[in-house]
Amino acid sequence: MGRSRRGAGFGRVEGFTNVVMPNVLSDETSVSDWQLLSLTAKGDEDAFRRLVERHQDRLVGLCQRLLGDREEAMDAAQEVFLKTYGRAGSLEPKGELFTWMYRVATNHCLNRIRRRKLAQFLSLTPDPEGEGANLDPADDAPDALATLESRRRWRKTRQEIEALPESQRVVLILARFEGLPYRQIGEILGISEGAVESRLFRAMRRLQGAQESAASGVSR
Amino acid sequence: MDRTTEKQLLRLLVGELSESKAREIRQRLENEGELRQEFAALQERWDSLDLPPLQSVHPSFTSRVVRQAVTGPSVGAVGLGRSTPLWTRATAAVALAGGILVGALLVSPSESEDWTAWDAVELTQAEVYWETMSVSSDDLVQEDLP
């Protein structure tokens, strides 16, 4: 249950290189995201493929944690990649490309959640969040009891997270599950590190309150 | 416990403290029982947050994204998005509104006739029902009489 703090795999900024080398993609680790994007802008389909392959797991993962649904997360991630492709020629090589992609993904998912809530409100259908969230465990679950316990824990976590205000929820997910430092969360959300800290602090306080009231409800 | 200390505990937990500050807080944790208890509770709360492990994305996803990017939106997905000029969207909206209006005018008479017919049927059925009930009621009353 430990978190992948730091060393989370963010590529370092290596600047924007306009020089196209014939063998630039032969050494995967030496090619920065910005270089791949530059090649993509020049019509290099393979460079874009590499960019997608490099980030698809984490981007789909982030969307899944925000949306609570695997299929919807894949749709959302696809739209982020398409947006990246569309902006390949115009994006300024500033900071880390993946931070920008995370920002787009976060905003996109939040918009989806808002639209979903509005649609549910208008159609008066029950909110599938929490109940409908894709909580199927991986196939390598050791036994049924452990699977059941994991599901119970995941459902509880999702319910607790979804009870948080949107601003706190996003910060908590980025800090707890994405393992991002305050600085990077601030960059993604366009807020200061102090604001990140305050939101995370308030989120943890709310969780404490929710857990305490749940515990007192059980003991009554 | 004051808010600053609580925030520092959180910073320690998520690895946001400098090495010297972290050392200082750890020292305090060793000496102060209440602080230690508070940190343990915070850690437990943090660790209790658990979501399903993420699975790798299927390779077909990559191909789909690349294909979609290179070929652009599919024919079926073409719509009046933001890239469509304003005059095109306005024309479409006016045409749609006009169509609805014409449709309403064309449909109204027949619908009106249908409603009249339905009213007539309803009246007949109601009359039949009322007559039936009346007869039944009379019958019941008569049977109850000595």
Q: How far is CA A118 from the centre of its chain?
A: 22
Q: What are the pLDDT tens digits along chain A (220 aa)?
A: 434 444 333 333 333 333 334 444 555 567 899 999 999 999 999 999 999 999 999 999 999 999 988 999 999 999 999 999 999 999 988 889 999 999 999 999 999 998 888 887 777 555 554 444 555 555 555 688 888 888 888 888 888 998 999 999 999 999 999 999 999 999 999 999 999 999 999 999 999 988 888 777 755 5
- Looking at residue B123, its amino acid is L
Kindly state whether residue B70 falls inside one of the protein's structural domains.
Answer: no
Does the model's ipTM exceed the 0.85 cut? Answer: no
If asked whether residues A152 and A126 sit together in one domain, one would say no
Kindly state whether residue A201 falls inside one of the protein's structural domains.
Answer: yes
Which H or E run contains B145?
none
If asked whether residues A125 and A19 sit together in one domain, one would say yes
CA–CA dist A103, A94 (Å, integer)? 14
If asked whether residues A116 and A183 sit together in one domain, one would say no
Residues in chain A: 220
If asked whether residues A16 and A122 sit together in one domain, one would say yes
Kindly state whether residue B80 falls inside one of the protein's structural domains.
Answer: no
Work out how many domains chain A is built from and give that number.
2
If asked whether residues A163 and A80 sit together in one domain, one would say no
CA-based nearest distance A24→chain B, Å? 20
If asked whether residues A95 and A171 sit together in one domain, one would say no
Is the minimum CB–CB distance between A158 and chain B shorter than 8 Å?
A: yes
Please choose, from the candidates A113, A127, A111, the residue with its C-alpha nearest in 3D space to the C-alpha of residue A67: A113
CA–CA dist A50, A28 (Å, integer)? 9
Looking up residue A195, the CATH number of its domain turns out to be: 1.10.10.10
Q: Which of A5, A40, A75, A81 to mutate to test the interface with B (most CBs of B within 10 A)?
A: A81
Q: Are the beta carbons of B62 and A55 closer than 8 angstroms? A: no
Residues spanned by the domain of A179: 135-220
Residues spanned by the domain of B138: 86-144
Find the farthest-apart pair of alpha carbons in chain B and give their distance in angstroms, rounded: 106
Shortest CA distance from A87: residue in chain B: B69
Kindly state whether residue B42 falls inside one of the protein's structural domains.
Answer: yes
Which residue has 């004051």 as its token pair? B2
If asked whether residues A216 and A149 sit together in one domain, one would say yes
Where does a domain end: A79, A99, A130?
A130
CA–CA dist A100, A114 (Å, integer)? 21
Q: Are the beta carbons of B28 and B36 closer than 8 angstroms? A: no
Kindly state whether residue A4 falls inside one of the protein's structural domains.
Answer: no
pTM for this entry: 0.68
If asked whether residues A106 and A63 sit together in one domain, one would say yes
Is the minimum CB–CB distance between A10 and chain B shorter than 8 Å?
A: no
Looking up residue A29, the CATH number of its domain turns out to be: 1.10.1740.10
DSSP letter string, B51-92: -PPPPPPPHHHHHHHHHHHHH-S-GGG----TTS-HHHHHHH
Kindly state whether residue A162 falls inside one of the protein's structural domains.
Answer: yes
Chain B CB contacts of A160 below 8 Å: 49
Kindly state whether residue A1 falls inside one of the protein's structural domains.
Answer: no
Sign for the CA dihedral angle at B65, B67, B72, B77 comes to: negative
Kindly state whether residue B127 falls inside one of the protein's structural domains.
Answer: yes
If asked whether residues B139 and B90 sit together in one domain, one would say yes
Packing angle, helices A97-123 and A70-86, rounded to 10: 130
Q: Which residues contact A163 (CB under 8 A, 6 or more apart)?
A: A206, A210
Of A78, A135, A177, which is closest to B65 when you measure between CB atoms? Answer: A78
